[in-house]
Amino acid sequence: MSKYDVIVLGSGPGGYVAAIRASQLGLKTAVVEKESLGGICLNWGCIPTKALLKSAQVFEYLKHAEDYGLSVNGYDKDFDAVVKRSRGVAEGMSNGVKFLMKKNKIDVIEGFGTLKAGKKIEVNGTEYSADHIIIATGARSRELPSLPQDGKKVIGYRQAMTLPEQPKKLIVVGSGAIGVEFAYFYNSMGTEVTIVEYLDKIVPVEDDDVSKQLERSFKKSGIKIMTSAEVTSVDTSGDGVKATVKTKKGEEVLEADIVLSAVGIKSNIENIGLEAVGIAVDRDKILVNDYYQTNIPGYYAIGDITPGQALAHVASAEAILCVEKIAGMHVEALDYGNIPGCTYASPEIASVGLTEKQAKEQGFDIKVGKFPFSASGKASAAGAKDGFVKVIFDAKYGEWLGCHMIGAGVTDMIAEAVLGRKLETTGHEVLKTVHPHPTMSEAVMEAVADAYGEVIHL
């Protein structure tokens, strides 16, 4: 029986990062993967979707070339080529992880891994043992009873990335990051898109002002939005799909070629041996402490299968913290209140910390500042004036409680707020930090200035 210091079950952004960090710290490491290295994120999530979205953005530029004083003749889209490019990007990233495994001398065990008691994993009939086993099996598209996925007419995000032909009409159920990104992509490609959201606003976890702005931008681009609405049944017996939608005004039947179910994710914790080992689970999540130890010594869990935010960067951070604790290093528990969230539609969304509503509910006396990109020189020059930066500070101590952005490229700007909050920066310190001009990022400084009554460019 092969013996390791660490075996990682799953090779997504939690699993492969855990394996590399373990190897860096001198631990003999193996990773078990049933499909492709890099997991869902690299192969069917974060990365290939960004490739699709980039194609959509370039196509949008071509459609609006005249706005930039340019004349473009004879352009068109090739849906198959767009999908093919996306798959090529994913394959390249997966090969990159394969290289990193080899570079760090990590054994890759191919197959479905099942946990066994006594710190063992069985893969394809062979048992492997380790002092520490890290479970990082990720998640998949969640299915609703009223919306069973058949992979053809009612699909999840995975099928949405590789459709054999572009649908003329698409219904997107759910308006979280996955839903709105695909809504933007297909709408840009020329598909007629309707979003159906159960709650009373789209991107429901975001600040109310951000949700309102995205709804305005989406409606301007031709996306139909139905909030406080629920798909109660689907009929796939005909050529397309008929979805019955319950709204406050009554029932409405929508017709489309395809329905995309984007109502969240389901943890991959079935049939991996949790029960046999005795690992505690609460509903859909494996229970862990601050260092990702389960109730059974020697078994750990990270990523989407634990109660934290189901985000790639969270899984990676958990992976490093978990392994460093195993190696005997001093580590501090992750601050889940300072995790950035990003949505890559157009306009992009990026946020961290409390929304204005949450800050008020928690009893803070707050200062709120907002700077619209319509007042930004860089945004005007780029032809991307939709959106704003909004900041929330505690009026008493100047603590940066939250930052919420919507606009072009804001996912590349949010790290300033995350770092500022980590270092316990005050509003006045941000205000006195010189930001380069002209940039989109100076909107952060301007928003802080607005919060403190010192804004120059409004």
Number of C-beta neighbours around residue 53 at 10 A? 20
Helix and strand numbers, DSSP H then E, in the chain: 14, 24
E strands, 156-301, are 169-173, 192-196, 224-226, 230-235, 241-247, 250-256, 258-261, 265-267, 281-282, 285-286, 299-301
Q: Please, which residues have CB within 8 angstroms of residue 247's CB and are 6 or more apart in sequence? A: 226, 228, 229, 230
- Angstrom CA distances, 95 to 131, 219, 340, stand at 29, 39, 27
CB neighbour list of residue 232: distance below 8 Å, 6 or more residues apart: 146, 244, 245, 246, 251
The amino acid that residue 275 corresponds to is: E
**Positions marked catalytic:** 437
- In what side-by-side order are the strands of the sheet with 258-261? 154-155, 258-261, 169-173, 192-196, 224-226
- What burial class does residue 329 get, using C-beta atoms within 10 Å of its C-beta: 0-12 exposed, 13-18 middle, 19+ buried? exposed
CA distance 204 to 290: 28
3-state DSSP of 381-415: HHCCCCCEEEEEEECCCCEEEEEEEEECCHHHCCH
* Type of residue numbered 218: F
With contact defined as beta carbons under 8 Å apart, do 232 and 146 qualify?
Answer: yes
Residue 257: other Cβ atoms inside 10 A: 18
Q: What are residue 133's DSSP bridge partners?
A: 7, 299
Nearest-angstrom CA–CA distance, 229 and 383: 34
- Name the maximum alpha-carbon separation found in the chain: 69
The rounded Cα 376 to chain-centroid distance in angstroms is: 27
Which of the 8 DSSP states describes residue 115? E
The string of DSSP codes covering 337-366 is: GG--EEE-SSSEEEEEE--HHHHHHTT--E
